């Protein structure tokens, strides 16, 4: 048995995984506003709720860049106190099992390629759409991390007057239309014309994001996850209209775009780090 942990901005999710199956899981509020020492103790306590003598290792997805070998995380998104934390060292000392850490979007993508929608593809890109835009890269069935697990952070690339993340995440709805993706989706499903047009515009931005993916990685498949991806039918039409303007039509012939159908895929991906 291994533990898979998804250290999100809202929740810490912990799962016991055995033979690629989650047999027990729990969720705890994120320690976002805690000071460093308090937040570390909180994480330890959260893990200890599901830890037992059968656990042989721990895999963790963290929203940050990090030193994989040393397990040091830097500038963790949504936990301001975590500027530089030797997380591997801290947790191995506490639980006496091997601990493996990677970027949270990489864990999502690894989960999809091992257990989910990405299984048929040797080369794919996973993209999470939520409070931000995260992504992970699979090349020849292997997760590509880059030097600091920062490979594939396409959301940070400049776009229009900001970045792709600004226009392809929840920021788009809150900043430009003073609403949320959830509210806009509920209205669009009731044929509210303004909400429908908001999603049409969002789809065009996502299409431009996919152009960047095609130019840089030319994958077989792109798999979307995250809360906003659940509204895929609302923006897929204009997304595809935009994608088709890509200057190399041959790149589109085999491209598959899929939506993650497993809300626990990041936990499974984190557990796969232990392999």
Using the predicted structure, report yes or no on whether residue 233 has a pLDDT greater than 90.
yes
At residue 78, the pLDDT reads: 83
At residue 152, the pLDDT reads: 86
At residue 267, the pLDDT reads: 95
**Predicted confidence band of residue 98 (pLDDT cuts 50, 70, 90):** very high
Using the predicted structure, report yes or no on whether residue 77 has a pLDDT greater than 90.
no
Count of C-beta atoms within a 10 Å radius of residue 213: 19
pLDDT tens-digit profile of 203-217?
999 999 999 999 999
The mean pLDDT value for 128-153 works out to 90
Classify 269 as helix, strand or coil.
helix
Rounded to whole angstroms, what are the CA distances from 89 to 96, 115, 210, 233?
Answer: 10, 29, 38, 44
Which of 220, 227, 219, 232 has the alpha carbon at shortest distance from 259?
232
Q: In what order do the strands lie in the sheet with 142-144?
A: 142-144, 133-139, 124-129, 221-225, 256-259
At residue 172, the pLDDT reads: 98
pLDDT-above-90 percentage for the chain = 88
The mean pLDDT value for 184-212 works out to 97
- What is the distance between the alpha carbons of residues 209 and 222, in angstroms, rounded to a whole number? 11
Classify 93 as helix, strand or coil.
helix
At residue 134, the pLDDT reads: 92
At residue 85, the pLDDT reads: 96
At residue 56, the pLDDT reads: 97
At residue 32, the pLDDT reads: 87
Using the predicted structure, report yes or no on whether residue 230 has a pLDDT greater than 90.
yes
pLDDT tens-digit profile of 99-116?
999 999 999 999 999 999
pLDDT tens-digit profile of 237-264?
999 999 999 999 988 998 999 999 999 9
DSSP 8-state assignment for residue 171: H
The encoded tokens of residue 22 equal 């989650």
Which of 128, 116, 130 has the alpha carbon at shortest distance from 153?
128
CB 118 within 8 A of CB 223: yes
Using the predicted structure, report yes or no on whether residue 125 has a pLDDT greater than 90.
yes
């Amino acid at each position: 048995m291994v533990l898979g942990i998804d250290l999100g901005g809202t929740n810490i999710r912990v799962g016991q995984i055995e033979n690629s199956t989650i047999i027990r899981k729990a969720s705890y509020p994120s320690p976002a506003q805690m000071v460093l020492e308090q937040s570390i103790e909180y994480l330890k306590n959260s893990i200890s709720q599901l830890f037992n003598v059968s656990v042989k290792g721990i895999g963790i997805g963290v929203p940050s860049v990090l030193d994989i070998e040393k397990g040091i995380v830097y500038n963790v998104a949504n936990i301001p106190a975590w500027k530089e934390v030797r997380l591997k060292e801290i947790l191995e000392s506490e639980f006496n099992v091997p601990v493996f850490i990677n970027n949270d979007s990489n864990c999502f993508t690894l989960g999809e390629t091992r257990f989910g929608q990405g299984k048929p593809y040797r080369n794919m890109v996973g993209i999470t759409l939520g409070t931000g835009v995260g992504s992970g890269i699979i090349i020849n069935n292997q997760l590509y991390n880059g030097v600091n697990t920062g490979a594939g952070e396409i959301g940070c690339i400049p776009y229009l007057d900001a970045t792709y993340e600004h226009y392809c995440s929840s920021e788009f709805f809150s900043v430009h239309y003073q609403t949320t993706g959830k509210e806009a989706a509920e209205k669009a499903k009731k044929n509210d014309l303004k909400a429908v047009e908001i999603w049409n515009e969002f789809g065009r931005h996502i299409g431009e994001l996919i152009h960047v993916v095609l130019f840089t990685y030319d994958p077989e498949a792109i798999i979307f996850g995250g809360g906003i991806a659940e509204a895929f039918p609302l923006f897929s039409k204009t997304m595809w209209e935009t994608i088709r303007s890509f200057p190399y039509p041959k790149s589109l012939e085999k491209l598959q775009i899929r939506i993650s159908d497993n809300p626990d895929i990041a936990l499974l991906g984190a557990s796969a780090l232990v392999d």
